[in-house]
Amino acid sequence: MKTNIIKAFTFLYMCLQVGVVNAQKISLNEAIQKGLENRLELKSQALNIEIANQENEKVKARWLPQVSANADVRWNTQLQTTVLPFALPGSSESQTTVQLGRPFNNTFALQAEQKVYDANKKVDKQVNATQIEVQKNTLEQQKINIRQAITEAYYSAVFNKEKLKLSETALQRATAYLEAAQVKFEQGAILKNDLDKFSLDVSNAKLTHTKNQQDYELSLVSLQYQLNTNDKSEPAEDLTSVFSYSQVVENQLNTDKRTELKVEEFNLQLNELNAQKQKVKNLPTISAYGNYSFFQLAQTFNPFASGTWFPANYIGIRANIPIFDGKQAKLSTQDYVIRQKINQYNIERLKNDFNYESKSTWNTLQQSKLNLEEAKKNITLAQQILETDKFRFEKGVIVVSDLKNSEYSLQNAENQYLSSIYNFLVASVRYKKASGNL
């Protein structure tokens, strides 16, 4: 029976390990770095920043000279008649009708225009600069969320990996107890009912081990998803090693740097700039322009005929002065002023929310730490009790039910200890995010 149990356990363990045989071991920092490199939303947001950077180039381009050329080849099949309000010498009529021009009238012109003054330029550049910062802040916000998601997925994988080890140890322990009970049964020291209880413990331990293996596999899938990779990865660290560098200190608050708060601050800046933009709409814009043209007036179509081309050119300055726009700019300015007040209220509310969140997560972290310390004491005590009861059982001082109770106490203490470490680690990463340090 002993040989059969060992073979069954070995076969089960090897089958369940197939999914992680080729998995690459990875640390938490490596996982975060890999995720930041692979996540598609970060790559998309980097392109949004690139688009925002190009907006200032568009503003500069609008201030470059606007040059255009046009050509017009025209055949006047019938010249327009003009009436002169006087008679030509020798004519008895009171007016004169004439047709001016030539049948063929060709024009080639070059037009250039240059902005000289536009108050919108300064505001547009400020708006674009703020939009760039908005996109950068969005990228940082995505990175923080991704770091948190990867960290929690990594912690979950480590936690399930440790649970799997515990269930493996529990299965080995239950198997050893069954083997010892088999010997006692053969010697007539215990009843068949007692032997069946040990067999049941082995069966339950196998089920628990299988479930823990499935949970571990699922957590690896979750980690793989967060890393956005087709490569299988598994944690290279255990809960104890992760716990050793995951300590946090209170009062390291950087809530003013929370990206959610910066979003509202940038919205406030944009509304201030948009209000300014509405005001400068009523300021004049000034442009300089020039034109150089060639006109051909000919009786027949002959672009190369001498004496038929006549130049003309002009330069000027144009001022566009808005006088009345139906109060649209004023009304829009009022809207943006109201939006600024909303942004200010939102900023104040977010500050209060983040201060509360940081205090709340700190309290949760402290409670998790106390639970962890208590669980650590319990597991030490449970190990001592089990070792003592195991010796007493072998000497026949206690019955099997007493030994089993001690074993269950140790298993519960071990699971509580793992859960306490995991809860502490999750609480620590959430406190870091709440305090603006993630």
Distance of CA 101 to the CA centre of its chain: 69
For the segment 96-152, what is each residue's pLDDT rounded down to a tens digit? 888 888 888 889 999 999 989 888 888 999 999 999 999 999 999 999 999 999 999
Domain boundaries, the chain: 251-282+325-438
CATH class for the region spanning 251-282+325-438: mainly alpha
For the segment 213-224, what is each residue's pLDDT rounded down to a tens digit? 999 999 999 999
Distance from C-alpha of 403 to C-alpha of 428, rounded to nearest angstrom: 38
Q: Are 105 and 295 in contact (CB under 8 A)?
A: yes
Residue type for 298, please? A
DSSP string, 96-116: EEEE-S-SEEEEEEEEEEEEE
Name the helix (H) or strand (E) containing 166.
helix 120-186
Residue type for 166, please? L
Predicted pLDDT of residue 96 = 83
Whole-model pTM over 0.85 = no
Distance from C-alpha of 159 to C-alpha of 170, rounded to nearest angstrom: 16
* pLDDT of the chain, 438 residues: tens digit per residue: 444 544 444 444 444 454 445 678 999 999 999 999 999 999 999 999 999 999 888 888 888 899 999 999 999 888 888 888 887 777 777 788 888 888 888 899 999 999 898 888 889 999 999 999 999 999 999 999 999 999 999 999 999 999 999 899 889 988 988 888 898 888 887 888 888 988 998 999 999 999 999 999 999 999 999 999 998 889 999 888 888 877 776 667 788 889 999 999 999 999 999 999 888 888 899 999 999 999 888 888 888 888 889 999 999 999 998 888 888 888 889 999 999 999 999 999 999 999 999 999 999 999 998 998 899 899 899 989 988 988 887 787 887 778 888 888 988 998 899 899 899 999 999 999 998 888
